[in-house]
């Protein structure tokens, strides 16, 4: 069992999976790109991260980098989803640990999950390639029950307005 009790352990787990996915796909990650996955202004990070960040800002396109990493994250989920549920649970636990702070890696994780707007956040994820968020199944059941309840309410309103034989109305 993988222990992910600290931010450092969580970050090293996630970065390790992203780097492994890049190798598997034949995508080259430079040392600067790999180190930027550890970037944080407030939490644990690499000791030389400020120097790495300056180099990154000078020589790399941030949007391209974020898209590249988000693609690797999506690819990891797709390849892992079919055969390793434990790995996905460890990913979710590590991600949850990082969400306690402010980490650059979360920007790319959110980009990979097609981060939903605040108005549709309560809806369950319909993308089967993404890991389920905590509470997705509960929200799905609650929505199904709400729709079912709504149908009964509409039927009751029609019965009240048009009488119990309203379905014969107009025949």
- Choose among 169, 166, 168: nearest CA to 157: 166
Separation CA 80–CA 131 (nearest Å): 10
Kindly state the tokens that stand for 133: 């968020």
- Structural domain boundaries of the chain? 7-112, 136-168
Could you identify the residue written with the tokens 């997705």? 136
Q: What are the pLDDT digits (tens) for 35-85? A: 999 999 889 899 999 999 999 999 999 999 999 999 999 989 888 876 788
Number of H helices and number of E strands within the chain? 7, 0
Separation CA 76–CA 17 (nearest Å): 8
Q: Model's pTM, two decimal places?
A: 0.68
């Amino acid at each position: 069992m993988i222990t992910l009790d600290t931010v450092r352990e969580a970050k090293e787990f996630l970065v390790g999976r992203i780097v492994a996915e890049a190798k598997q796909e034949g995508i080259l990650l430079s040392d600067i790109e790999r180190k930027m996955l550890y970037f944080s202004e407030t939490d644990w990070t690499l000791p030389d991260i400020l120097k790495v960040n300056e180099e990154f800002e000078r020589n790399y396109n941030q949007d391209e980098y974020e898209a590249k990493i988000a693609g690797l994250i999506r690819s990891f989920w797709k390849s892992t989803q079919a055969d390793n549920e434990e790995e996905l649970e460890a990913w979710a636990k590590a991600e949850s640990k990082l969400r306690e702070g402010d980490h650059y890696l979360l920007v790319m994780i959110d980009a990979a999950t097609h981060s939903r707007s605040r108005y549709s956040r309560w809806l369950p994820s319909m993308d089967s390639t993404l890991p389920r968020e905590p509470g997705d199944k509960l929200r799905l059941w609650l929505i199904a029950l709400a729709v079912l309840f709504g149908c009964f309410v509409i039927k009751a309103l029609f019965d009240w307005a048009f009488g119990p034989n309203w379905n014969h109305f107009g025949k």
